[in-house]
């Protein structure tokens, strides 16, 4: 389904469907069906009643706007959903109606439904993150020898390779993805505790039914109910925040490299992508913009969830009720970032010639560190430092190449051949351990993937 217009920059179509009204309602109904099936397996609920509940629990048969209005009065969506399901069954098979929601509490249904939605979302996020990682590996390999300006504090610095830059992006995404996988594994657990988290209404069958219910839903069964212990969810959402920040860093880098005066890379274009309503020449970094927006939105949402963790006793007043919109927004924002950066990484245009030209435009100033180290060995550190400082100022003022001006200095001219100075300005000869670091990052990423 399409996202609501107000959320159209904050979700993807797939995740909008996961967190749609119909999907949320069906998840709650699925919990009720699974509960009846599990209790029928252990002989508490009649098989016929479980069959009737399953046959009736279809979201399309319910009045969602009416349920929404009732939720506002009830304080939880589960109460009106259970009532509506019970009423529908009673109208068809009265004796089965009394078995709906047997032994559960409203938060059991709401929390477990949310976990089911997160399980669906995990598959979507994992697919897009695999795309990002695969594309970044390809970019890094293709451009392992593509030299470009390093940039520190937004200023030109000694050269790096685009392959190393892509590998750095990859490393952060891979680490974040690994954390997210672990957090999902920990979070996808059943919530089933009854009124006070003891399942007292089920006597000695509580843990057996919990295990059967978890099996029905394809979830893990936790050690105990977690009604007011939100640490698993908090960990998952914090991992979303870190990962979205890493994706946002990539988007920020790429959008800066797309500036007209830099023009070293470009997002993929396409119908309706990156244009301007008033400037036909524009090729805007739209996918990067969506990713940066998500990365700016998520930290506040994560903080909102963390602030709601201080929940009272066995059932919260306000904290739990605040969570659904926050969780949905964080997961969907993470999905926007992952999907957008997958598109960018798979279709990124890289201009090695422009990268080399931008290096040349510095007139050799980015090699001042290397020249300083070389001249210090010939002239002494203090003399070399003063000479280089004066020559750099002249280079900037006269827009002349640093090596040319240095070659004119008597102290240098008498000791060095001009060709030696020219050699000091070859980018490929001042990359240090760039390739080793790039290979370490790629090897770490691929070895981690081999373990999962």
Task: Tell me the CATH number of domain 106-144+158-189+226-357, given options 1.20.200.10, 3.90.226.10, 1.10.357.10, 3.30.300.20.
Answer: 1.20.200.10
Say if residue 175's pLDDT is above 90.
Answer: yes
Q: How confident is the model at residue 4 (pLDDT cuts 50, 70, 90)?
A: confident
Q: Which residue has the tokens 């399409």?
A: 2
Rounded mean pLDDT, 173-188: 98
Which pLDDT does position 280 carry in this prediction?
44
Catalytic residue among 120, 151, 273, 315: 315
Query: Left, alpha or beta for 199 (phi > 0: left; psi -120 to 50: alpha)?
Result: left
Say if residue 272's pLDDT is above 60.
Answer: no
Cα angle 214, 220, 241 (rounded to 5 degrees) comes to: 125
Q: Which residue has the tokens 């890379």?
A: 265
Q: Which residue has the tokens 């099936």?
A: 37
Can 414 be counted among the known catalytic residues? Answer: no
pLDDT tens for each residue of 326-367: 999 999 999 999 999 999 999 999 999 999 999 999 999 999
Q: What is the mean pLDDT of the chain?
A: 93
Q: How confident is the model at residue 448 (pLDDT cuts 50, 70, 90)?
A: low
State in words which class domain 365-424 has. mainly alpha
Can 232 be counted among the known catalytic residues? Answer: no
Burial (CB count <10 Å: 0-12, 13-18, 19+), residue 444: middle
Rounded mean pLDDT, 176-203: 97
Separation of alpha carbons 184 and 207, rounded Å: 23
Among the listed residues 301, 262, 308, the one whose alpha carbon sits nearest the alpha carbon of residue 285: 262
Q: How confident is the model at residue 269 (pLDDT cuts 50, 70, 90)?
A: confident
Separation of alpha carbons 118 and 15, rounded Å: 10
Catalytic residue among 48, 276, 307, 349: 276
Annotation: CATH topology of 5-97 = Fumarase C; Chain B, domain 1 (1.10.275)
Which pLDDT does position 449 carry in this prediction?
62
- Quickly list DSSP for 41-107: HTTSS-HHHHHHHHHH--GGGS-HHHHHHHHHHHSSSHHHHHHHHHHHHHHH-HHHHTTTTTT--HH
pLDDT tens for each residue of 111-157: 999 999 999 999 999 999 999 999 999 999 999 999 999 999 999 99
Rounded mean pLDDT, 27-37: 98
Extents of the domains making up the chain = 5-97, 106-144+158-189+226-357, 365-424
Lowest mean pLDDT among 71-75, 321-325, 383-387, 444-448: 444-448
Strands (E) in 138-254, as ranges, are 147-152, 155-161
Rounded mean pLDDT, 229-255: 98
Separation of alpha carbons 213 and 199, rounded Å: 13
Q: How confident is the model at residue 6 (pLDDT cuts 50, 70, 90)?
A: confident
């Amino acid at each position: 389904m399409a996202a609501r217009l107000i959320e159209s920059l904050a979700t993807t179509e797939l995740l909008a469907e996961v967190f749609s009204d119909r999907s949320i309602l069906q998840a709650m109904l699925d919990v009720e069906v699974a509960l009846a099936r599990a209790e029928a397996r252990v002989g508490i609920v009649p098989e016929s009643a479980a069959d009737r509940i399953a046959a009736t629990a279809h979201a399309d048969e319910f009045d969602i706007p009416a349920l929404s209005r009732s939720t506002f009065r009830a304080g939880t969506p589960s109460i009106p959903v259970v009532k509506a399901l019970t009423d529908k069954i009673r109208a068809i098979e009265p004796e089965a109606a009394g078995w709906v929601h047997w032994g559960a509490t409203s938060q059991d249904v709401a929390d477990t439904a949310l976990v089911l939605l997160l399980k669906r979302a995990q598959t979507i996020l994992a697919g897009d993150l695999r795309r990002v990682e695969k594309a970044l590996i390809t970019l890094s390999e293709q451009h392992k020898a593509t030299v470009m300006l390093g940039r520190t504090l937004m200023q030109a610095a000694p050269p790096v390779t685009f392959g190393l830059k892509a590998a750095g992006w990859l490393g952060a995404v891979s680490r974040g993805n690994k954390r997210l996988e672990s957090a999902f594994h920990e979070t996808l657990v059943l919530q089933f505790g009854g009124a006070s988290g003891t399942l007292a209404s089920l006597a000695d069958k509580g843990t057996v039914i919990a295990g059967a219910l978890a099996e029905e839903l394809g979830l893990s069964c936790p050690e105990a109910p977690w009604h007011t212990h939100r640490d698993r969810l908090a960990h998952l959402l914090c991992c979303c925040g870190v990962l979205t920040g890493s994706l946002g860093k990539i988007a920020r880098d790429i959008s800066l490299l797309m500036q007209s005066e830099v023009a070293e890379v470009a997002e993929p274009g396409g119908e309706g992508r990156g244009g301007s309503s008033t400037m036909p020449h524009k090729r805007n970094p739209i996918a990067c913009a969506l990713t940066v927006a998500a990365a700016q939105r998520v930290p506040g949402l994560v903080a909102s969830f963390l602030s709601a963790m201080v929940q009272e006793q066995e059932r919260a007043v306000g904290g739990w009720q605040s969570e659904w919109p926050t969780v949905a927004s964080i997961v969907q924002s993470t999905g926007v970032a992952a999907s957008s950066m997958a598109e960018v990484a798979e279709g990124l245009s890289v201009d090695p010639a422009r990268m080399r030209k931008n290096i040349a435009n510095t007139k050799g100033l980015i090699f001042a560190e290397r020249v300083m180290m070389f001249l210090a060995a010939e002239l002494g550190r203090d003399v070399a430092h003063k000479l280089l400082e004066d020559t750099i100022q002249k280079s900037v003022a006269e827009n002349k190449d640093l090596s040319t001006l240095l070659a004119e200095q008597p102290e240098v001219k008498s000791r060095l051949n001009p060709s030696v100075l020219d050699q000091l300005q070859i980018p490929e000869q001042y990359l240090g351990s760039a390739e080793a670091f790039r290979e370490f990052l790629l090897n770490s990423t691929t070895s981690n993937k081999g373990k999962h």
